[in-house]
Amino acid sequence: MKEKTIEIFRSAPVPKAVISNIVPSVVSMIMVLLYNLADTFFIGQTKNAYMVASVSIATPAFLIFMAIGMLFGIGGTSLISRMLGEGREDTARHTSSFCFWTGLSIGIISMIAIWIFVKPVCAVIGASSDTMEYTSQYLSIVSAGIPFLIIGNSFSNIIRAEGRAATAMTGMIIGNLINIVLDPVMILGLHWNVAGAAIATVIGNAFSAVFYFIHLVSKRSMLSIHPKDYKAGGHIASGVFAIGIPASLNSLLMSTSNIVVNNLMKKYGDMAVAGMGVAMKVTMIVVMLLIGIGSGIQPLLGYCFGAGNRKRYLSVLKFSLCLAFSFSVVMTVICYCGAEPLVKAFLEDKDAFDYGMKFARIYIISGPVLGILFVFINAIQSTGAALPSLILSISRQGLLYMPIIFSFNYFFNSERMLVLAQPVTDYLAATLSAILFIITFKKYFPKENIKQNNT
């Protein structure tokens, strides 16, 4: 039965193999998007600006722990899928146990540290005297769920490496649905306000983590979280970190870049900042769905790479690129034409709405190339190539974006050009990803190393 879970990686028709892996991944991304929108929406219904601000202020700290989960999730998925492709199931079990126990340990230590230093942490991340009480209350409660958050984020990715994309999706849907359902009950019904939002988040993350735990200790899984299978040596830790650290850096840089552009946009007024924030949410619809396509194919590509099946690897990649590009174009047109009702759902002020409309249609210019970018990023990660992964991870929101946005700010002094910096960066990043993939593929997947089973 366990062998059947990776049969789709090995021999299913390429379209079926790709679609069956990306659909659960895309659905998971949709749930994450809905959860983020719901949390903000229900806190906003309290009509207390300080509460809304406190949740926003706590977000950077929360993103750090999500990035840790991504470190083990993306790094673990890349290594495990390659090991299964090579037939090294023991190493795959050692890797999953390493990711579980190391991630859990970091989560427990972080939870205790925040409980002890919650006020100083809140001050560092930007809480004022007006928001300190709400921010510290929210963060101290949310910190109780850090171990669950790290495990959930890690294994929503890792379980896909054994061919169980639907199981990975189910765990994420359970957690997010519980959070979305509990938000209005605890925030508005019980009047627990920010504490209610925090409790709902902890419970949702706990349910996801428990769901994955039950799967991993069952006979259905070929992976392991048993302490006896824990092993960091044999290039396991280094293999996980080589891909996981660049992936987590990308998440952290995205948060940093948002802070930078917010500060640069402030000189054009609060309505410009509000419009930009909503425009980002509109674009995020496209981004999250395309991230789902990219991350969905990574285990499949990793298995083909580990098995040395160059022909199938290229077939999967070509089909995925065509699918991602087609989907990108369709979603770009939909979001461009539908920008008005989407922006209006969040903004009532006319000035803010005008900014939101203008900015949304600038941001969406990135749409056609984002699918290609995310497919190439995951294709590179599937080979375990650490340096190209690192370069790409720090380029889109760092090495490329920062010089461009500061240059646009200096030379043009225009809010429109500040927003345009992101599409310009995305086209450059997509070009860079294609170049790095070609170099990586030729180096790590030479024709002379193709195994006999390359069919």
Q: What is the pLDDT of residue 356?
A: 87
Q: What is the pLDDT of residue 452?
A: 44
What 3-state DSSP class applies to 192?
coil
pLDDT along the chain (455 residues), means of 10: 68 90 85 74 74 73 84 93 92 96 96 93 79 90 94 93 90 92 92 91 95 93 93 92 87 77 79 79 84 89 91 94 93 88 76 87 92 93 88 86 92 90 94 95 72 44
CA 235 – CA 324 distance, rounded (Å): 33
Q: What is the pLDDT of residue 258?
A: 74
CA distances 136 to 61, 143, 216, Å, are 11, 10, 34
Contact 294, 374 (CB under 8 A): yes
Neighbours of 348 (CB within 10 A): 8
Q: What is the pLDDT of residue 447?
A: 66
- Helix pair 132-142, 89-116: axis angle to 10 deg: 150
CA distances 270 to 42, 362, 412, Å, are 22, 19, 20
Q: What is the pLDDT of residue 40?
A: 67
DSSP 8-state class, residue 86: T
- Residue written as token pair 């949702």: 204
Contact 32, 169 (CB under 8 A): no
Contact 42, 200 (CB under 8 A): no
What 3-state DSSP class applies to 439?
helix
**Cα 15–chain centre separation:** 24
DSSP assignment of 374-426 equals: HHHHHHHHHTT-HHHHHHHHHIIIIITHHHHHHHHHHHT--HHHHHHHHHHHH
Tokens of 76: 């673990």
Q: What is the pTM of this model?
A: 0.81
CA 300 – CA 339 distance, rounded (Å): 35
- Residue written as token pair 């983590």: 209
CA 82 – CA 239 distance, rounded (Å): 11
**φ/ψ of residue 129, rounded to 5:** -60, -30
Q: What is the pLDDT of residue 313?
A: 94
CA distances 239 to 74, 161, 397, Å, are 11, 15, 24
Query: What is the maximal distance between C-alpha atoms in the chain?
Result: 67
Provide the residue type at 95 as one letter: T
Q: What is the pLDDT of residue 4?
A: 56
Residue 252: partners with Cβ closer than 8 Å, 6 or more residues away: 63, 64, 67
CA 79 – CA 383 distance, rounded (Å): 9
Q: What is the pLDDT of residue 246?
A: 86
Q: What is the pLDDT of residue 450?
A: 47
Tokens of 452: 């006999």
DSSP assignment of 110-135 equals: HHHHHHHSHHHHHHHTT--TTTHHHH
